[in-house]
A and B are shown apart, each in its own frame.
Chain A
Amino acid sequence: MTKLRQALAIVDWSGWLGAAIVVAMVGAAVLAPWIAPFDPVAVNIEDRLTAPDAVHWLGTDQAGRDVFSRILFGARASLAVGIGAVLIGGLIGVSAGIFAAYKGGLAELAVMRVVDAVASIPLLVWAIAIVGVLGVGPVQVGPLSLPNEVKIVVLVGCLFSPVFARVTHAVARRVVSADFVKARWLQGAGHWAIVTGDVLPNCLSPIIVQATLLVAIGIVVEASVSFVGLGVQPPAASWGTMLSDARNAIYSGEWWLPVFPGLAISITVVGFNLLGDAVRDLFDPRSEARTLVA
């Protein structure tokens, strides 16, 4: 406990700010149906394009929908895509990395070649192209009708996976060949016990760092894809579609329409970036050089 407190003492204010933003945004997304003052999709022509006031805190859009409520609901789409993609990418990447490091030989070579191939796919272009080909309609999986975002989550997740695979592979290889793991083998520990007991705990800190920073990238990707009309479909609220709708307001002067959704994205992404930096400083201060780009 004191150890944890000592470790947390080195987290500076920016790390705490990041954590606070992330908690607030996740809270807003989860609680949106209860805390949103208005129905995010309810059209109300009489109240259209009202500037921010006591009733509509962040104003209303062309259809008279409450911008604040739409931003709260938009947080759901953003975080669902960002976090969902990271979970999928993490699952695929971590398993692939551990599998490769653990098996070694030809299997390792093959898996890491695939990882290289996936890593050489430019994220956004493919996201746009593939959603474009498959269409923006819902995906039918058995009795379930999944919205278009699911495609994006899976796709972005797959394209995130090499990051996790490489990190995990590098750490896992070191762990697998370490003497203490050999000793555990000799003691008769099973595969599963070694993977969950020795390999995973050692990879965890770099994985968490990458995951936090990738959520930030995922959020921007979702907003961008939605912005060009290939993401979240109207009338559902998403920060990207809200900005797309707001493009005419650049000229007509309803400043609140382009400003608030953009701020929502930026603040959320700042939150995840600050948190990611803080987590990295906490776990592994020397790894600063491994900067992510998308």
Chain B
Amino acid sequence: MVLVRAVAGRVLASLGTLLIVGLALFVLTRSGPSSPARIVLGVDATVEQIRDFERVNGLDRSLLAQYGDWLAQVARGEFGRSFVTGRDVAAEIVNALPVTLSIVLTAFAIAVVFGGALGTAAALRPGGVVDRLSRFGTVIGLSIPAFWLSILMIRVFAVDLRWLPPGGYAPLSAGLVTHLQFVAMPALSLAVYYVAVLARMTQASLQETLRSDHVRTARAMGLPRRKVVVYALVNALPPVVNLAALSFGYMFGWALIIEQVFNVPGLSRALLNAISQRDFLLLQGIVFLFTAVFILANLSADLVNRLLDPRQRTAA
């Protein structure tokens, strides 16, 4: 019961945060130098035309009321119709989202698998070859900007070796191999930083639990080494899960830059188009979505950790 209440509390708090942050976003997108009406109708529009436009689109109401309307729409899965292009914002996002999602999910899988493995291997032999390599490698990984890595990879793998296409995108429906050919470089360059981050965290956390009293007990009772490692890993996991969730949320941001380099028709293109066309409804929709994903990722990390921790799971 306590757990249910705690979970409900966290979910509500996350929702509240999303609403407040969403409002901040709403206000910010409307604080640009020119109003949507002026952008749509052009500099020649008369004051009456502008007033009419604002009344028809509800732009004359208070910001809070507009935000309420917009939220009600979002709750129904609609993001409104763009003033600029007349296109449905939700449809536009649904078109671009799978592209970004495919890159981010692939990168996330790479980061978790390789980061976790590298960190574990390094923690198991402090001072060993893997430890020293990972110490060196992760600092490099943390420091190379993903978009520069993309540029270098295009030169090497697309231009010189001709193994992979230099950019563009093919959906999964075009076949898994083709899809992966297009996703490989963006996902890899996005993943490198997070492999480093997760490897460092896994190593630090596991090393600490390996020093703990209960691991010493496990060894004193003669558990085989594999089992001892499992015992330690179970306890080393929570901070890694937290960081992984945080990473997942942040990845969407860097994916925007990388999509630019590879000229991928994902949310990055949609967002930058929205900016250049001053299409604030679309921009707002995309940023709100990213923020929601970010908050959701953090929330799920919290919930997973609660499930992992018997103190919280069994508290009666």
Contact = CB atoms under 8 A, between A and B. Distances in A.
Q: Do chains A and B touch in the complex (CB under 8 A)?
A: yes
Interface of A: 14, 116-117, 120-126, 128-130, 132-135, 216, 220, 223-224, 227-228, 230, 243, 246-247, 250-251, 255, 258-259, 261-262, 265-267, 269-270, 273-274, 277, 288-289, 291, 293-294
Contact of A133 (B166, B247, B280): B280
A250 B155 contact: yes
Given A120-B295, A125-B252, A125-B290, A289 B205 contact: yes
A9 B40 CA distance: 65
B145 A224 contact: yes
Contacts of B272: 128, 132, 228
A93 to B, nearest CB: 18
Contacts of B254: 124, 224
B271 A134 contact: no
Interface in B197-216: 197, 200-201, 204-205, 207-208
B35 interface: no
A120 B147 contact: no
B250 A294 contact: yes
Contacts of A121: 21, 291, 294
Given A124-B257, A250-B159, A293-B250, A262 B298 contact: no
A120 B204 contact: no
B271 A129 contact: yes
A206 B54 CA distance: 51
Contacts of A243: 147-148, 151
A138 to B, nearest CB: 12
Given A133-B283, A250-B155, A123 B148 contact: no
Interface string B227-263: 0000000000001000100110110111011001100
Interface stretch (B24-32, B65-73, B76-84): B24-32
Interface stretch (B56-64, B136-144, B308-316): B136-144
Interface string B273-296: 011000010010011001100110
B17 A269 contact: no
Interface string B88-128: 00000000000000000000000000000000000000000
A239 to B, nearest CB: 9
Given A128-B271, A129-B275, A265-B148, A134 B256 contact: no
Nearest to A220: B145
A243 B207 CA distance: 39
A75 B159 CA distance: 30
Contacts of A122: 249-250, 252-253, 290-291, 294
B175 interface: no
Nearest to A286: B208
A65 B28 CA distance: 38
Interface of B: 13-14, 17-18, 20-21, 25, 28-29, 31-33, 139-140, 142-145, 147-148, 151-152, 154-155, 159, 166, 194, 197, 200-201, 204-205, 207-208, 239, 243, 246-247, 249-250, 252-254, 256-257, 260-261, 271-272, 274-275, 280, 283, 286-287, 290-291, 294-295, 298
A269 B31 CA distance: 34
Given A250-B159, A262-B145, A262-B151, A124 B253 contact: yes
Q: Which of B151, B247, B260 has the most chain A CB atoms inside 10 A of its CB?
A: B151
Contacts of B32: 133-135
A273 B201 contact: no
4 nearest A-B residue pairs (beta carbon): A124-B253, A132-B275, A262-B148, A269-B143
Nearest to B258: A224
Contacts of A255: 155
A128 B155 CA distance: 27
Contact of A270 (B25, B140, B246, B298): B140
A289 B204 contact: yes
Contacts of B261: 247
23 contacts: A14-B139, A120-B17, A120-B295, A122-B290, A125-B271, A125-B290, A128-B256, A132-B274, A133-B29, A133-B275, A133-B283, A134-B32, A135-B32, A135-B33, A220-B145, A250-B166, A258-B155, A266-B148, A273-B139, A273-B143, A288-B208, A291-B243, A293-B197
Contacts of A230: 275
B67 to A, nearest CB: 16
B294 A120 contact: yes
A216 B204 contact: no
